[in-house]
Structure 1
């Protein structure tokens, strides 16, 4: 059955290649990806909201409120169970970092199970109260659709990568009903380079996903009522941007600290218990932390400034302004911890929505405090919106995405100048301290990040040394008689031989030119063994080393060829500059075609 399916696909491919150009075919596929990703976004949002509504409204039991402390734990536990029993043959990863790694090091291969597993696990995690967002899972799901559709149809790396980006753009467009933000996100986060031809597939994919999602959700996510911005408030927008820039640095550092804590907890169910109980306790004290948290921001934009505290156990004190301010500030930091705990404990989601919530709350509490002090009268809704854009820009290192996303989902295009100012400043502050975002730092530390800022390193990071090892060099044993190996050495046409012991342990090298000279000068040449002429290699390359380091070793020792060994010093072959440069040139040609 499988063979017949493959043969059928091959026949279809051969036919379409004769009738449709690759460029036009890619546009058709972009629309297909947009439709499927839009449906995936609609399914994820619908499933999540149905779970939330069932737990909070439809399910009637007089003791159910005692379970609210444990709902997040249950959601994370169900997610971990699903991953353990339904995803066995491949690794399940959350967030955008694995997607960036797939583009950088796996030829844009995204595992097929991500199409549905991201939807299921994110819906369960967030529906039961996990304090994360749905955007990263739907981006991964959309990208998986594009990747596997491209691979199934036998497309090239550049075409598959284009469909991966189309899937990501469609995911954002479907989740937020914001096609422009989807396109900008794909360009800013996923595509290392961008030219105009890439814009057409992205545009069609994002627009199609937005249309499909709109068939299921017609309401705008946020409603902003504003008369615009005032020049005399610009200084306060700058101060807000400074605060959010500093907060984003804290959030980035907290991300690594909490990840490190859960990494030390080896047993997966221990992570679930620790994280679930901690998260349940925080949700009990701060109801805003439940799920995505968009409801609170909607209330604040409507002018309900007590929404943060009203549903908590401190609601009776909502008439005390100082307590409202303190409670909101604590909620902001609690949201950051709750998000990271959810992810660290095994839940699925992303930091996209939490970034918006935290930024919106900072914008609210800043303007609310200034208004109470009497220093000035600021438009609170404007500052909530600006705070959302600034936080997203700083945390994700994506200022354009922050600006256009917030403008689209709030209808706040009239606030474009404040959005630009706050996004730029907060991003600059975070970038000044953190060169890489929370999505890219782990890859950058391992040298696995695509970057158009350092073309050489980017291309070298795409290359794997183990595929460039030359194994056709003569391998001599220490006790081998060189006289008997001369014919084999001559036929190899190599100027260097490796010398090992009987177990393959690398001992050194013999240069053929020197071997010939010695054989001509010594009378008892029949008795000369490899041990007599072996000498240490100028340097040794380990099979897992980065090629940038390998080239540095070659330059330092002024050599064109070096031996490659395992960590146990077992000889594997030689690596040459010629092989590295040939592969480098091939990858440059592939990237030149990437966006053309």
Structure 2
């Protein structure tokens, strides 16, 4: 009897290991594919808008319309709920349907490619979670490891997107499951190893190429101020998403949602083309010029406009039917918030701080505050710049931003529930 029990345990662990490796490979491959296809698609269409602004009047309408018809005729007429779908699966008996893989892949690609002001991160998370969910159903031995395999898929997807295995594991822990176990460590550890190996084999470069040489201790007070401001901005982002999505949900006719959403996107993009798609193109441009940029009133107004309008246009994208979440918008807002803070204190307080560093720290601060996951934000940003020079200020500011955000608003867009709002 003991031998049978021992053999059963060994077989179960072997099955979990094999499944985790396969999930890691499939999730990593899907994530890398979606990233490259979206980058190419978005860059090509955005280049068209630079040549002829009229494209900005039609691209959002095309994107939102195509997503609607795909959802209506191909994806069972069901809207994608983003990461809440993953929560429903891990916290109850619900399963993520297999069609969620192509649904989020295609809709995320179209949303960002045609100018929807969000990112593919949430599409990646849900589609890779669905891969893990399918794996647990295929073998009787794996039925009790549903959450572990879902987390394995998510961790591999985040790893492939941001070149950071630790960010992948920590996101699965801090945001999705909040439970640590031996099976979780094994499943996520093996899956991110496979996903990261794919990145190395393909010589994938970091998302942002920067040269960080040092940071100054005298900048710490200003970093902390940046963390507090990021925390406040994250609440603004959360409230924008919840309020504007609620306004759109009150509109019954989908055609009205699409027309209002597309027109709003077009108008804002005509004024601020930096907000097109995930906005990573604008971040890259400003990372290159951050340390030489001079403070002027037009520059300040431009940065302020970007920071104020990004949450609104993101919320409109999601409310009108686009796929995405607050992941990429948080990184985007944080970068420009950091740049604005650095320019202000250098100009008026003669602080002599490094604006590039503040852009990078701002990304992590805003992400940490928006998703309430400081360690994920820390290692993710270190991964996207492939540099750990700013590790200590990143660590401090990520926690400052999260604490500030939670003191004002205990929930985020992932954890919000109607009863929570009514109780406040």
Q: TM-score, normalised by structure 2?
A: 0.92
Query: Which of 302, 319, 322 pairs up with 1:347?
Result: 322
> Whose relative contact order is higher, 1 or 2, with alpha carbons under 8 Å and at least 6 apart?
2
The question of 1:268 aligning with 2:258 is answered no
Query: Which of 76, 81, 95 pairs up with 2:69?
Result: 81
Query: C-alpha distance in 1, partners of 2:50/2:154?
Result: 41
CA contact (8 A) 1:42 1:174 kept: yes
1:61/1:440 Cα in 2 relative to 1: closer, same or farther (>3 Å)? Answer: closer
The structure with more strand, counted as a fraction of residues: 1
What's the CA shift string for 1:114-140, capped at 9, x where partnerless?
111111111011011111011110111
Give runs of ≥4 in structure 1 deviating > 6 Å: 59-62
For structure 2, the 5+ residue unaligned runs are 1-6
The structure with more helix, counted as a fraction of residues: 2
* Aligned ranges 1:559-574 → 2 under 5 Å: none
SS in 1 for 2:119: coil
Query: Which of 174, 178, 181 pairs up with 2:160?
Result: 174
Query: C-alpha distance in 2, partners of 1:45/1:263?
Result: 29
1:338/1:229 Cα in 2 relative to 1: closer, same or farther (>3 Å)? Answer: same
* Aligned ranges 1:292-331 → 2 under 5 Å: 292-304=278-290, 321-331=296-306
The question of 1:91 aligning with 2:66 is answered no
1:444/1:208 Cα in 2 relative to 1: closer, same or farther (>3 Å)? Answer: farther
The question of 1:406 aligning with 2:378 is answered no
What's the CA shift string for 1:460-515, capped at 9, x where partnerless?
xxxxxxxxxxxxxxxxxxxxxxxxxxxxxxxxxxxxxxxxxxxxxxxxxxxxxxxx
Query: C-alpha distance in 2, partners of 1:158/1:434?
Result: 35
Query: Which of 335, 359, 363 pairs up with 2:338?
Result: 363
Query: C-alpha distance in 1, partners of 2:418/2:10?
Result: 38
Give the count of matched residue pairs: 416
CA contact (8 A) 2:49 2:55 kept: no
* Aligned ranges 1:383-422 → 2 under 5 Å: 383-422=358-397
| TM-align CA RMSD | 2.4
1:345/1:155 Cα in 2 relative to 1: closer, same or farther (>3 Å)? Answer: farther
1:320/1:431 Cα in 2 relative to 1: closer, same or farther (>3 Å)? Answer: closer
- Between 1:432-441 and 1:269-278, the stretch displaced more is 432-441
Query: Which of 265, 276, 279 pairs up with 1:279?
Result: 265
What is the aligned partner in structure 2 of residue 572 from structure 1?
none
1:443/1:410 Cα in 2 relative to 1: closer, same or farther (>3 Å)? Answer: farther
Shift of 1:443: 7.5
SS in 2 for 1:302: helix
1:428/1:446 Cα in 2 relative to 1: closer, same or farther (>3 Å)? Answer: closer
Query: C-alpha distance in 1, partners of 2:388/2:411?
Result: 29
CA contact (8 A) 1:352 1:392 kept: yes
Query: C-alpha distance in 2, partners of 1:407/1:381?
Result: 14
1:414/1:53 Cα in 2 relative to 1: closer, same or farther (>3 Å)? Answer: closer
CA contact (8 A) 1:97 1:443 kept: no
* Aligned ranges 1:153-192 → 2 under 5 Å: 153-192=139-178
Query: C-alpha distance in 2, partners of 1:352/1:188?
Result: 14
CA contact (8 A) 1:258 1:341 kept: yes
What is the aligned partner in structure 2 of residue 497 from structure 1?
none
Shift of 1:162: 0.6
1:304/1:234 Cα in 2 relative to 1: closer, same or farther (>3 Å)? Answer: closer
- Between 1:400-409 and 1:191-200, the stretch displaced more is 191-200
The question of 1:141 aligning with 2:127 is answered yes
For structure 1, the 5+ residue unaligned runs are 1-16, 308-318, 448-596
1:303/1:396 Cα in 2 relative to 1: closer, same or farther (>3 Å)? Answer: same
Shift of 1:253: 1.4
Query: C-alpha distance in 2, partners of 1:396/1:341?
Result: 19
Query: Which of 37, 45, 50 pairs up with 1:55?
Result: 45
Max Rg structure: 1
